[in-house]
Amino acid sequence: MTQKKLYILLFICTIGSIGFISLLFAFTNKGPERDMSFKRGFLHDAPKKIHELDLEYNGYYIAGAYNNKIYLGNSQSPLYLITVDTTLDHKQEIRLAIDQDSLPLRSPQLRIIPPYFFLMDGTIPYILRGRTEDWKGYSMLENPFYFNQAQPIDSVTLAIRTISSKTKKFALGTIRFSDSTTLTLSHKLLKKQVDGIFDVDGTLQYNRQQQQLVYTYRYRNQYIVANDNLQTQLLGKTIDTISQTQIQVGTIVSKNQKKMSTPALMVNKSSSTSGNYLFVNSQILGKTESLILWEKSSVIDVYDIVNNRYEFSFYVENIGKNKLKTFYVMNDKFIGLIGNHMVIYQLGNRFKELQTPTVTVQNSNLIFQISKPKNNTGVPG
């Protein structure tokens, strides 16, 4: 082969290989799933962004919000949190004190329901509780109860999702700290469609005004509203029509692991609940919705969980290339984290009226009797 022919051949090979993969990508890249059977309603007077703050770090998550104060936890350093006013000034840093020397760092989660906070990691597991007056946390968990999502219901009860030792499937339940720690599970709330683990995945939230658990399935168009005793109050539907989970699960025999073996069709990525309402970040594009707008923003669907009704939707704009990562609704304020930024959207007047009730303090004497001896032997002060 002459040098010239060789270069031509190399050139053809390069173009051919790049072209082949690019075509493969072009034909298999479907973009967002569009569901022609529903149409979102967007308000003329849509919620508007009223504040934006650069947090200069993207590792924060929303640990809670109460009385116009937003609490941000930090997954890399679990003992550090910041609070910001809903006007996004008065940033304050807080350092937690705990009754042990160090905490294993796997997936610590902080939840704040003033006057209490919980620092927990259900994969280790541990739960520390303390008061927001002094930010000192005391170990609460005497038995190793594992869980992978938890939301405080009140000062002595947590709503959790865990893998049931009985069925080996996900189940919702509560952990209650009274004279002894008790775990209650309901095997009826989550409905298995494929394997009882991946297909029932979703986001667990607690609505303190309604005193109800709200679990929004990630891969199907449903949410569950249950009371504190884990009885179903309402089975709601999100507006799309994906009622059947579209996932496939494969097993890796050598590692005894199960994994999703095809990309899953995600319906409801994340959720938050406040007052009568549930807010869901949906991944399904509706009829007549602009694809351009869809790529530049995230859509939030609002449902009335008292009357089981879809209300309206609104867009939360990307910041740069970053999409809405997580959000939290406190009455009429929608708080979102996007990349390094925190944004606040103002919701309409009807979201305003409800007052967040103060946390009911139950058995508090008892609890602090249990935890005080640990305090004395643990971190001084």
**Residues pairing with 304 in the sheet:** 277, 309
Report, in Å, the least distance between residue 326 CB and other proteins: 17
One-letter-per-residue 3-state SS of the chain: CCHHHHHHHHHHHHHHHHHHHHHHHHHHCCCCCEECCCCCCECCCCCEEEEEEECCCCCEEEEEEECCEEEEEECCCCCEEEEEECCCCCCEEEECEECCCCCCCCCCEEEEECCEEEEEECCCCEEEEEECCCCEEEECCCCCCCCCEEEEEECCEEEEEEECCCCCCEEEEEEEECCCEEEEEECCCCCCCCCCCCCCCEEEEEECCCCEEEEEECCCCEEEEEECCCCEEEEEECCCCCCCCCCCEEEEHHHCEEEECCCCCCCEEEEEEECCEEEEEECCEECCCCHHHHHHEEEEEEEECCCCEEEEEEEEECECCECEEEEEEECCEEEEEECCEEEEEECCHHHCCCCCCCCCCCCHHHHHHHHHHHHHHCCCC
The least CB distance from residue 12 to other proteins, in Å, is: 10
d(CA 157, CA 188): 20
Q: Which is nearer to other proteins, 134 or 295 (CB)?
A: 295
CB of 19 to other proteins, least distance (A): 9
Closest approach of other proteins to the CB of residue 22, in Å:
7
Instruction: Closer to other proteins by CB, 166 or 255: give it.
Output: 255
Q: How far is the CB of 219 from other proteins (least distance, A)?
A: 15
- Among residues 1 and 292, whose Cβ is nearest to other proteins? 1
- For other proteins, give the closer residue by CB, 17 or 77: 17
Write out the residues near other proteins by the rule CB under 8 A.
Answer: 1-4, 6, 9-10, 13-14, 16-18, 20-22, 24-25, 28-30, 248, 250-255, 259-263
Query: Toward other proteins, which CB reaches closer, 251 or 358?
Result: 251
* 265-to-214, 246, 282 alpha-carbon distances in Å: 21, 6, 11
Q: How far is the CB of 1 from other proteins (least distance, A)?
A: 6
* Least distance to other proteins, CB of residue 260, Å: 7
Q: Which is nearer to other proteins, 4 or 44 (CB)?
A: 4
Based on CB atoms, which residue is closest to other proteins, 6 or 366?
Answer: 6
Instruction: Give min distance, CB of 125 to other proteins, in A.
Output: 28
Nearer to other proteins, 11 or 368 (CB): 11
